[in-house]
Each structure stands twice: as structure tokens, then as C-alpha cells.
A and B are shown apart, each in its own frame.
Chain A
Amino acid sequence: MTASTTTTAVAARADNVWKVYGTGEAQVLALRGVTAEFSAGRFTAIMGPSGSGKSTLMHCLAGLDYTDRGEVHIGDTKVTGLSDRGLTKLRRHKVGFIFQQFNLLPTLTAEENILLPLSIGKRKPDTTWFDQVIDTVDLRDRLKHRPSQLSGGQQQRVACARALVQRPDVVFADEPTGNLDSRSGTDVLKFLRASVDQFGQTIVMVTHDPVAASYADRVLFLADGQVVDEMFEPTADRVLDELKRFEEIVAAQSGGER
């Protein structure tokens, strides 16, 4: 991932994606024809009230879940229709993940956790890159510790480092600060921001926290399974106002339907 990546290149793309859960009475339309592009070297946040489909969209983009209609691309790779083998390869080489919780293997040290994606693919770590990542997340003196010996913020930073160490095309983060106190959360967000600015990393983050969203370059708003708005250069206040507006609209709509 280099800074030379042009800002116009698309790292991930969703094309009229539909996703349905359940059948019959219990059927839920999680995504209703979502089309969105995520530029390379940019930090995009996906926001929306619960049930808006933001996590589902991310899972579909990352190839963790199957789409019912529409197509998903990561870089030049068409994710939709890939076999399990193809998806495994995609995850191994092109995608990194940061989850809200249960991110680390409790039996491995921080260093082993960070290097896990490489050892799974039987690849040698690039020491300079590894050092760079470790210094950015400020974990050098914690490498030999087990996850249980680390604070929540430190654990999440280990998870971030692990997502970056394989130099993926896209890092998907699912509520990465959801389980952290505000200071640790800020650390993680600063690190994510830095990885975009310094290394040109592409990040797609799902969050419901306006402050977290304010670290992104762009915010995509989802409601009821559809993209309803987007915002560039967000600030926490603007995001909060926008969210409130949605809630009012949604409330008015559902009131009107009754």
C-alpha cells in the first residue's frame, strides 16, 4: 500500500446489493439495493441506526456473508460467486479485519497474534514494515504478553496491527471502539487515521459513535437497508445532527405508515 495509489482508484465496491434474512413472516430485508464505492487510501465510516444494515453491508463487502442479489468487488476481484477457496485467498491477501470483541487468540502472545495472518499463509514477515506498525500502535514493550495481560485498548491495538501486518487492500473494522473507554478508543482511532495518512491504507469502519466517525474522510449513512446520505470531512457535531434528522424522518415515516 503506497501513497502513490491514486485517490480515484476504488478499493471496494457494492453494486445494487440485496440481502434477505429468514423466510415468510420472519423475513427481513437487511439490504435493499445498496450501491456504494470506497476509494483507495481513504477512511470511510458507515453509520446508521441499529437495524439499518450497516454491519450486513460490511460483512457482504468483506466476503464474510453472501449477497442475495447484486455484486461486490474488492479491487479488481469480484467477490460475489467466489468459492470458499477463493474467499479464503481473498481474506488472506486482500482483506484485514478488526472486530468489536474476541479479536485475539488467548493462547498466543501479542506478537504471535499479530503475525498470525502471515503464519497461516506461511509467509515471512517484512521486518521493517512490522517494526513500523508496532511503533505506530506503540506495543513494542508488550509483544511477549498474553491478551489477558493487556488492557482492552492494548488488545484492540494488537488487533489493528494484525489487520495491517499483511498489507491488505482494505481493512474492515466493525465497531472497533465499541467495547473501549473513550481514551483507549481515541488511541485506536488515531492509529487508524495515521495508517491512512502515513501508509495510504484503505479503511471501512462501521460505527454508531459520531466521535469515531469524525476521524473518517467520509461518512456513509444507511437507514432501512438503503444508502440515504453521505458526508465528506465530517465532524462529530455534524454527524450527530444528521443522525438526529434521520431518526426524526424514520419516526415520522413509521408513524405515517400506521
Chain B
Amino acid sequence: MLRAALKSLLSRKTRLLLSGIAVILGVAFITGTLVLNASLGDSIRSMFATAYQNVDVQVSAGSDDNGSPKPVPASLVDTVKDADHVTKVTGDITNANGGVQVLDKHGKVLPPTGAPTIGSNWSGVQSPMQLRDGAGPKHGNEIAINAAMSDDLGYKVGDTVKVIVGDPKPQKFKVVGIFGYTGDRKSLGGEKSVSFTTSEAQKLLLDGKDAYTDISVRGDGKVSQTELKKQIAGIVDDKYDVKTGKKLADEAAGGLQVVIKFFNYLLLGFGAIALLVSVFLIINTFSIIVAQRTRELALFRAIGAGRGQVTRSVMLEAFIVGFISAVIGLALGVGLGYGGTSAAAGLFGNMRTTLNVPTTAFIAALVIGVGITMFAAILPARRAGRIPPIAALRDAANTERPVRWFGIIGGVLLLGGGGLLTAALTKQFGSATSNDTLLAVFGGIILLFLGATIFTPFVARPLVSAIGALFSWSLPGKLGRRNSARNPRRTAITATALMIGIALVTAVGVLFSSAEASVTKYLNKQSQVDLLISGVQTGPTPPTFDKTVATKAADIDGVKTMVSTYADTSTTVGREGTMVDATDQVKDLVHMTAMGHDKGNTSSLGTDDIIVSKDAAKRQHVTVGDTLKVKFPKSKQSKELTVSGIVKNSGMTAPYIVSVDNAKYFAVDQPTTAYIKLDAGANKKTVTHKLDDLLKDNPLVSVSDLSVLVDQMTKQFDIMLIAVQVLLGMAMLIAIIGVINTLTLSIRERTRELGLLRATGLTRGQVTRMVTVESIVISMFGALLGLGVGAGLGVAVQQALKGDFVDVLAMPWGTMVFYVIASLVIGFFAALIPAYRANRLNVLNAISYE
């Protein structure tokens, strides 16, 4: 029996390969992700280990509220030097949180993307650092930069560059040296570095104090880092943090790893979807194989095989296919993971990569590959066991099984899901943001998805016939249409695989386009803001501009209204660390940024008043007349502010607005943003130029046209949608393989029929057309189902988020039409191989085919 099963498997290699591909791709995706995670993690850890290779112990004083390091007095260096086993002590001054900005040759600040700019003091060259050109800075107006900065900004030794430190006014420095790292690296991890002399760094970064941000200690190697740390911790004051170099490297790597982990979960999610789609493909392949082997399996039964034996023989096949696919998928996944790591290393300045294949990758590959295949084979295997022995004597006609139960069960699930969703959206479970409601929405969506999947075979025949009607002007078209409606279950499963991917893309598309439309509508139609003066925040505090700029700007011809706001990002309201805006023109601000009056007084603001957004009021459980404890960075103690008004939304501003009188307690008492409304006939360009002139000494802040902002946002949504589509491409690819597989197997099943058709005069071209129509009908069926289900889900979620800024419903028509056309193309190409095979049949053999 075992041998019979194995031999039968070997004789159907190609067919099983097709279903194997689905598993291979799914497994490769998952293991690739795991390998990427582990390898990238290792590479990052080793990168930071290199960065801290000269540090055995570091002494620092922790950070202040803004996240900037507190200074360590220079005198501490001598204290630490006296400890045993210490060979070298270096005082470091480092600023890595955007406090130092080097301007490019056009006088602009670098965008705050990618690795940061690090400002530090020059403490000599030690491995892995290498001097590439020039020398270290010796005078206050000299700096050394790393090769990454030199390459990116084009600065060479002898150039003069502008650097901004804290103060928006740039200062000029002369580049005297360029350094890199061993292994021809331009940076350790993609960062751009600039090094000043120690005294200049103290002046710029530590308000001129004779201090450092930390002290690095090098031991003599006779004691462990931990031991050295203990000794030093014993002699310095308790308020200092003493850490080993290893700990520092781990901490630094940990921060990045959180981001990588999140990205990984995302990838794993898409891998799971791909695997879900493969389940459908495998179910179909095995069902068809079992159907084809009906007589063979019935023969087994006739000569004494039990049900269990037949079922087990199919399960054994599934195990073998799953196992082989898992092994191939694992190998492919390791390759993918390594490729991904190398690509990601580019983001970290050609970081050295290490390949790490974690045990979880092996386990996941085997468990998923074998598990998914065997799980999917359960139904077909059970069906195989139920084949009666008498089937060996009948012609292997496909007995049609009723689809009524699919209709009933699917219908019940659809109704249940729909009901749950409606109830949730009509707030039967409490407010829109309550946990119960979200749970109900989520549950409803899952039920709808399941219901749609199960309901599909029930509607397959009428829908497929309807789609097929488009193609039935010719005989091959008619035959193709009928063939596709012949086995509704099979057609439905094939189409469902395609449906899943397209439904998800459509749902995401509906959400994105709705969000985009909502934001655009808000910015274009509701807000009265034409121009905006603001900066991109790179450091702990948002960039600011001079108060006189605001007054001068208001006088420019064509400016109708101008509202400037002060922002602070490290205020605590109640228990919430948040951003707070201050303004002296609250009425104009509320009007121009279309906040919308909700309750109380939103047109004036007293010193002890605060206006909050509706959402924030809900979070803080306050309403008009209540008080909120507010702690500003520079106020000695918390202030009790009275909620004087509530606004509907705060899309452009902070959720809390206070009087300008409180701006003196802000970290920086200067305006951060100005909202400008122009006169009806004003020339936007002229005004923009004049504003640019006012700001020319301040490279951190610029004037922007709101329509440009809208464009940028639209682009971001588009990129996100494309990313989702690419990631779901795997699932769709598997679904396409499913279409090919189903067609190939159906054609084999109908060999005799095809022979008959060919014998009665159907040309090869006509056979090709017949197969193509069937293929296109199945793909279009899947696409239309996907669009329907996806649009339904997307609209449901949009309705659920209506209160949360996604108030406009916009359908992604372009994407949707694209998928209908794509399904036509997919159908066409999926038919190529099966049609070729159908045409290769020898007419006579086909008729006498057994």
C-alpha cells in the first residue's frame, strides 16, 4: 500500500510540483523573514559592538526631559583615572538627537530621514576609526567630518561649511579632516558625523561648561568589564550611570531592533496571507487528484483496502509534498533573507552583514510546510476514503455534488457578520472607540470574509455564466463558458484564492483613498490656510523663527490674516505627555484651521484657560469648566488651567491650545508655525518670495504651499498602497498558479472529451480559445469577488472610522479597474500552458484514453 502510494506520487510529479510551488513560496516568505530578522539583528549588534569596541565602561549622567544627555563635570575624569585597572579615560561630547545640523551647499537642512547627524568632540584616532584625509581639528573654527557626510554633501578638506547648533543662525567652520572606518566603511551605521575641538564642542553643546556628556574608560584587560564597572561605580557619585561597553552596545542595538521587529511582523502577516491562499490551492489540487484517481482508489477498495488506508495514502502524499516543499522553501528563504539583509545593510552605510539562520526558521519551515499541506489535504483525503469500491466499475464521470450547504452556511455567516458589523457601526456596543465595538467590527469582518469564501461555490454557477456570457459569441467561447460553470466548487476555490489578495488590496485601497480624500477635503475646502511657515523637527524641540518675522509677515501686501503659534512638545497635561500650542489669535486660528466649535468659548482665551480637542477631552474625561493640571517645561510647578472651550478636531494644531501668555514657560519662547490667509486677488508666488526673504537667515524654517503638502501626502498614500500590493503580490502569484493548476488538471480530466472535440473538427486555435475563455472567466470571477468583498470591507471600516477623520468615502476606482483588466491578462497567460497541453493531445489516443 505504501509502495503503491509512493509510486503513484512519483508518476504525478509535475502535478504535485504545481501545488508544491505554492507551499515553497509561502515557506520561503516566512523563513526569509525570520532569517532577515535574525541576520539583521546580528549585523546591527556587531555594528554597535564595533562602535563601542574601545569602551569598556562608560560613565554618564542620564538625560534631561528633552532626551538630551546631562553633562558630566570634567573633574570626574581625574576621579575615574584613579581607579584600579584603568589605562585610559576619555571625555566625550556627543549629540545624536538632531542638535547639530550641517547645511548642504544650497544652505538647506538635511531632511530628517535615515540615520542622524552626530556632533561630537575630536578625541583622536583609534581603531576602527581611520583618518582618510587632512587632520583632526585644532582650532575652534575647524571640524573633521566622516566620509559619509563628505560623500553625501560633497564637502572636502579646505571647504567652509555652515553648521547649526541650537541657535537657528548658522556658524561657519572649516573642514580640516575626513575620517572613515576600517573595512573601507564611510560610517559605522550610515550616520553623518561632525567633530569639533573639545572646547568648541563644550561651547556649542554644553553651554560652555567644562564638562562632557559621558566619560569612556578603557581597562587594562586584566579584569572583566563588569568588574571594572563595579570598581568605578564604587568611586563615583550615585547620580552617575556606569555601564559596560557591552551593555551600551546592546542598548543601542535594541532601539533599532524594535523597528525591525515591527517590520518583521508586517512581513510575517503577508506571508501568512500567502500561506492562506496556498491552502486553497492545495485543497483544489488534491481534490482534483483524488477525483482523477477515483477508479484507482476504488480498485484499492475493491481488493480490500479500508477507508483509513485510502485516506492515509493521500495524507502520506501530502506529507511528502509538504516536506519536500518545506525543504526547498527553506533554502529559498535563506537566500531571500540573506539578500534582504544585504539590501538593508545599504541603509546602514554598508554595514557588515552576517548570515544567521535561526532554529525557528527550520521549525517554521517544517511545521508550516508540512502542516499547511497536510491540513489542506484533510478534506480531499477524507473524500478519497469515501469513494465506494463500485466506482471502479463506473465511468469516471464527475458526480456533481450539491452546493446547497455552501449557500446555507455561507449565507448564515454573511448575515451574522453583516449583522454584527451593522450593530457595531450603529453603536449598539457603546461608543465608536470602545473595545467592544472594535471587537465587534473585527469579528464582523472575519465572519464576512469566511462567509464570502464559503458562499462562493453557491453563486459560482450563475455568476460565472454571467461573466462567460461576455465571451460566448463563438463556439469555443460557449464551450469555455460552460466548462467553467461545470464544477462550481472547483471554480469557486480557484477564484477564492485570487479573491483574498484582491479583496485585501481593495479594502486597503478604499481606506487609503478615503483617508486621502478626507485629508484633501479638509486641507483644501475647509481650512482657510493658503501658506504655512514651519520647519521640520529634527531635534528635541521644533524649529522656531523670530517673533519679528511674524509681525513683518503680517505687513506683506496680499496677506489677509496671519496667525502664529508657539509649540512645545514636552508639556504634560494631566498625565499625558503631549504637544501644546500657544497663540494670541485663537479666534482666527480656530477659523482658519477649521477646528470647528464644539462647546464653550473657542473665540478667546484667558491666561488660565485651555482649549482642548474633542478627542483629547474624551481622553482626559473633562468638559467645559473642568480644570486640567498642566506642567510646562519652564514653569516651576503645575498650573491649573480651566477648559474654556472644546473644538471638534485639531488636524493641523496640537490637541491643546493655551494663551500666548504661557509661551514663556515653553522650552523655546518663539513662534514655530504661522498660518497665512491671502487676500482674494493676491499673487501667491510674490507673497511666497517675500516670505522667503524674511526667512533667508533661518535655514530650519520654510514657507510651504498647502497644495504642495497635499501632494506630498497623496504620494505617501500611493507609495503605501503600492507597498501593500507588492507584498500581497506573493499571494496573488500563488493564486495565479492555482488557476493554471486547476485548468491543467481539468484538461487532463477531460482528455477524452477534448479528443472527441478535436476528432469532430475543432481546430487547435479553437481549443486554445476555449481554454482561454475558461481561464479568463475564472480569473475575472475571482477578481470581481475580491473587488466586491474588498470594497464591502473597506467601506465598513471607513464607516467605523468616520468619527476619526476618515469622514469622506472615496473608492479607488483606478485600482479597481486595474484589477479587472489584470484579471483578464492573468486569465490569458494562465491559459497558455494548459492550452498547449490540450493541443498536444493525440486525437486517437485521447479518445481511447483510459
Q: Select which of B3, B307, B393, B850 is within 8 A of A64 by beta carbon.
A: B393
B622 is an interface residue with CB less than 8 A from chain A: no
A82 sits at the interface (CB 8 A): no
B8 interface hit (Cβ, 8 Å): yes
8 Å CB contact of B302 from A64, A93, A121: A64
- A119 and B3 form a contact (CB under 8 A): yes
| Assembly CA distance A30 to B799 (angstroms) | 63
CB-contacts of B376-402 with A (<8 A) = 388-390, 392-393
B8 touches A101 (CB 8 A): no
Cβ contact within 8 Å between B306 and A65: no
> In this complex, what residue of B is CB-closest to A119?
B1
Which residue from B295, B303, B389 sits with its C-beta under 8 Å from A120? B303
Specify the chain A residue showing the minimal Cβ separation from B8: A107
Contact status of A102 and B7, CB under 8 A, knowing A91-B303, A119-B1, A162-B303: no
**Distance, CA A65 to CA B306, complexed state (A):** 16
Rounded to whole angstroms, the CA-CA distance of A96 and B299 in the bound complex is 11
Query: Nearest-CB distance from A236 to chain B (Å)?
Result: 26
**Which residues of the partner chain B approach A162 to less than 8 Å between Cβ atoms?**
303
CB of A61, distance to nearest CB on chain B (Å): 12
The answer on a CB contact under 8 Å between A105 and B296 is: yes
Minimum CB–CB distance from B540 to chain A (whole Å) comes to: 73
Asked if A107 and B11 make an inter-chain contact with CB atoms under 8 angstroms apart, the answer reads: yes
Interface range, B side: 20 to 34
- Judged by a CB distance under 8 angstroms, whether B305 is at the interface is yes
A88 contacts B307, C-beta separation under 8 Å:
yes
Contact between B390 and A65, CB atoms less than 8 A apart: yes
CB closest chain-B residue, reference A84: B307
Query: B304 touching A105 by the CB < 8 A rule?
Result: no
Whether B304 lies near A120 (C-beta < 8 A) is yes
B439: chain A residues within 8 A (beta carbon): none
Q: Given known contacts A84-B307, A117-B303, is B4 in contact with A108 (CB within 8 Å)? A: yes
A105–B7 CA distance with the chains assembled, in angstroms? 10
The 0/1 profile, CB within 8 Å of A marked 1, for residues 817-850 of chain B is: 0000000000000000000000000000000001
Specify which chain A residues have a CB less than 8 angstroms from the CB of B11 in the assembled complex: 106-107
Of chain A, the residue at the smallest CB distance from B396 is: A102
User: Which of A92, A99, A102, A117: most chain B CB closer than 10 A?
Assistant: A102
- CB of A97 within 8 A of CB of B305, answer no
Question: Taking the nearest CB of chain A, how far is it from the CB of B842, in angstroms?
Answer: 15
Shortest Cβ distance from residue B689 to the other chain A in the assembled complex, whole angstroms:
83
CA of A24 to CA of B1 in the docked complex: distance in angstroms? 42
A85 within 8 A of B: yes
B289-320 vs A: 1/0 string, CB under 8 Å?
00000011001111111110100000000000
Which residue in A102, A107, A120 is a CB contact (below 8 Å) of B392? A102
A174 to B394, CA, bound (A): 12
A172 vs B288: C-alpha distance when bound (angstroms): 30
**B850 near A101: Cβ-Cβ < 8 Å:** yes
A216 at the binding interface (Cβ < 8 Å): no
Contacts of A91 in B (CB 8 A): 301-304, 389
Contacts of A99 in B (CB 8 A): 299, 392-393
Q: Which residue of B lies closest to A163 (CB)?
A: B303
Measured in the bound complex, the distance between the Cα atoms of B393 and A55 in whole Å is 10
| Minimum Cβ distance to chain B for residue A72 (Å) | 14
Residue A32 lies at the interface, judged by CB distance under 8 Å to chain B: no
A81 to B303, CA, bound (A): 19
B304 touches A64 (CB 8 A): no
Which A residues are CB-close (under 8 A) to B3?
A: 108, 112, 119
Query: In the complex, what's the smallest C-beta–C-beta distance from B307 to chain A, in angstroms?
Result: 6
B299 touches A105 (CB 8 A): yes
- What separation, in Å, do the CA atoms of A62 and B309 have in the docked complex? 20
B459 within 8 A of A: no
Output the least CB separation between B197 and chain A (Å).
83
Chain B 1-57 residues near chain A, CB threshold 8 A: 1, 3-4, 7-8, 10-11
A40 to B296, CA, bound (A): 30
Q: Quick one: closest B residue to A118, CB to CB?
A: B304
A103 to B1, CA, bound (A): 16
CA distance A85 to B393 in the complex (A): 20
Contacts of B1 in A (CB 8 A): 119-120
- The interface bits of chain A over 93-130 (1 if a CB of B lies within 8 angstroms of the residue's CB, else 0) are 10011010111011110001000110111000000000
Q: State the CA gap A64–B392 with chains docked (Å).
A: 10
What A residues does B390 contact at CB under 8 A?
59, 64-65
- A22-71 residues with Cβ-Cβ distance < 8 A to B are 55, 59, 64-65
Q: A97 contacts B306, CB within 8 Å?
A: no
Q: Shortest Cβ distance from B742 into chain A, in angstroms?
A: 23
Nearest B-chain residue to A55, judged by Cβ = B393
Name the A residues within 8 Å of B301 (CB-CB). Answer: 88, 91
Decide yes or no: A121 and B304 within 8 Å by CB, A59-B393, A65-B390 being known contacts.
yes
Q: Which residues of B contact A85 (CB under 8 A)?
A: 306
Bound-state Cα–Cα, A221 to B3, Å:
42
Shortest CB distance A129–B (Å):
17
Measured between C-beta atoms, what is the minimum distance from B749 to chain A in Å?
15
Nearest residue, chain A, Cβ from B6: A107
CA distance A103 to B305 in the complex (A): 15
Known: A64-B390, A65-B390. A120 touches B7 (CB 8 A): no
- Residues in B with CB closer than 8 Å to A107 are 4, 7-8, 10-11
Contact A88 B304 (CB under 8 A): yes
CA distance A119 to B5 in the complex (A): 12
Residues B430-488 near A (CB distance < 8 A) = none
Determine how close the nearest CB of chain A comes to the CB of B302; give it in whole angstroms: 5
Question: What separation, in Å, do the CA atoms of A92 and B393 have in the docked complex?
Answer: 18
Q: Known contacts A99-B393, A101-B850, A108-B4; decide if A88 and B305 are in contact (CB<8 Å).
A: yes
Smallest CB gap from B293: residue in A: A105
- The docked-state distance in angstroms from the alpha carbon of A130 to that of B850 is 29
Partner of A102, one of B295, B309, B389: B295
A120 to B307, Cβ gap below 8 A?
Answer: no
Nearest A residue to B2 via CB reads A119
Chain B nearest Cβ from A110, distance in angstroms: 13
A105 B8 Cβ-Cβ under 8 A: yes
Name the CB-closest residue of A to B10: A107
CB distance from B386 to the nearest CB of A (A): 9
> Which chain B residue lies CB-closest to A102?
B295
Closest to B388 in A: A64
Contact residues in A for B307 (Cβ distance below 8 Å): 84, 88
Residues from chain A with a CB closer than 8 A to the CB of B4 are 105, 107-108, 112, 116, 119
Inside 8 A of A96's CB, which chain B residues have their CB? 303
- Establish whether residues A64 and B303, one from each chain, have CB atoms under 8 Å apart when the complex forms: no
Contacts of B7 in A (CB 8 A): 105, 107-108
CB 8 Å contact bits of B388-426 with A (1 = contact, 0 = none): 111011000000000000000000000000000000000
Looking at the assembled complex, report how far the CB atom of B351 sits from the nearest CB atom of chain A, in whole angstroms: 53
Chain B proximity of A243: nearest CB distance (Å): 23
- Measured between C-beta atoms, what is the minimum distance from A63 to chain B in Å? 8
Query: Which of A64, A85, A92, A117 lies at the interface centre, i.e. has the most chain B CB atoms within 10 A of its CB?
Result: A64
Which of A65, A84, A93 is packed against the most chain B CB atoms within 10 Å? A84
A174–B393 contact, CB under 8 A? yes
Q: For chain B, residues 508 to 545, give those with C-beta under 8 angstroms from any C-beta of chain A.
A: none
Contacts of B306 in A (CB 8 A): 84-85, 88
Q: Mark contacts of B342-383 with chain A using CB atoms, 8 A cut-off: 1 yes-contact digit, 0 otherwise.
A: 000000000000000000000000000000000000000000
- Kindly list chain A residues whose C-beta atoms are within 8 Å of the C-beta of B309: 120
In the bound complex, how far is the Cα of B303 from the Cα of A59, in angstroms?
14
Measured between alpha carbons, how far is A112 from B1 in the docked complex, in Å? 10
What are 17 A-B pairs with beta-carbon distances under 8 A? A59-B390, A59-B393, A64-B302, A64-B390, A85-B306, A91-B389, A92-B304, A97-B302, A99-B392, A99-B393, A102-B299, A105-B299, A108-B7, A116-B4, A120-B1, A120-B304, A166-B304
Q: Knowing that A92-B305, A108-B7 are A-B contacts, what are 8 other residue pairs whose CB atoms are under 8 Å apart, sorted by A's residue number?
A: A64-B302, A64-B393, A65-B390, A84-B306, A93-B304, A102-B850, A105-B7, A120-B304
The 4 closest A-B pairs by CB, nearest first: A92-B304, A107-B7, A64-B390, A88-B306
A contact set with B: CB distance below 8 Å = 55, 59, 64-65, 84-85, 88-89, 91-93, 96-97, 99, 101-103, 105-108, 112, 116-117, 119-121, 162, 166, 174
